Amino acid sequence: MILNEGLRRLGTPYRFRPSPHAVAVVSNSEIVVSGSECLLFLSVSSDNVISLTRQIKTSTFLSICCKTPTQMVVSTIDDICNVRMISVDGVETDFQQVEFPKKTYKLGDSFSTYVQSKNTLVLIDRRAHTVYVYDTVNGTSRAVTNGNIQVPSGACVGPGDTVMVCSENMNSVVQLTADGDFLCTYPVDMKFPRSICVSRDKTRLAVSNCVIGDRKLQLYKILPTLNN
């Protein structure tokens, strides 16, 4: 569904047949949604009408974000290659300079995001309370653990090409540099924050949780000092 800055719904929600997992913005008028064994491309009109334009059969992916205008980064399920690239035409490729943890993840156990300007891939391991940061050009990596990172989940690129990560058991959002250095933590008014995204102009932060009976979606204003 489309919400305005007051979190009021615009237009009519689009209903999926396969369960949707995550969404990424491809352009001003197109989004892509990951689901069970497919990627769904949808157009968004100026009057907030959402329409399915095409569907690509794929493996099952969870989180999804854009790497380039024609290529996306997706986290896998039950696959030793934890994160892959996939083109808008459905061609899957692996990161050649990245050595992932030698383990597979079940649905909901890992998430990923990509910092385009830094060529940095971020992989979240919820059960290990760890954020893996990979330099996809030089092949270096870093496993980030911190007392503030407890059951990390959703992640996205924040202001200044930093990384914002939900810390579920701390009811907060942690901010890291693209190199994995800890910057700060921000409490949120919800239990177990799970999903997160930042607006293109880096002035708004949206966070949602996954608590039966107390589900929330909250929008936060990012103060200018956060960009320094």
**Overall pTM surpassing 0.85 (yes/no):** yes
Rounded Cα distance between 61 and 76, Å, is 5
According to the model, what pLDDT value does residue 161 have?
95
Mean pLDDT of 125-131: 97
190 pLDDT more than 50: yes
Find, among 156, 144, 148, the residue nearest to 181 by Cα: 144
Helix (H, G, I), strand (E, B) or coil at 208: strand
Least confident of 16-20, 115-119, 221-225: 221-225
**pLDDT average, residue stretch 170-191:** 96
Residue 201 has pLDDT above 70, yes or no: yes
pLDDT tens profile 55-65? 999 988 999 99
Give the CATH number of domain 2-227.
Answer: 2.120.10.30
What is the C-alpha to C-alpha distance for residues 34 and 56, in angstroms, rounded to an integer? 10
Residue 223, pLDDT score: 83
pLDDT confidence of residue 225: 62
**Mean pLDDT of the residues in the chain:** 93
Using pLDDT thresholds of 50, 70 and 90, give the confidence band for residue 18.
confident
**What are the tens digits of pLDDT across the range 84-118?**
999 999 999 999 989 999 999 999 999 999 999 99
Instruction: State residue 228's pLDDT score.
Output: 43
Question: 66 near 39, Cβ under 8 Å?
Answer: no
pLDDT band at 224 (very low <50, low <70, confident <90, very high): confident
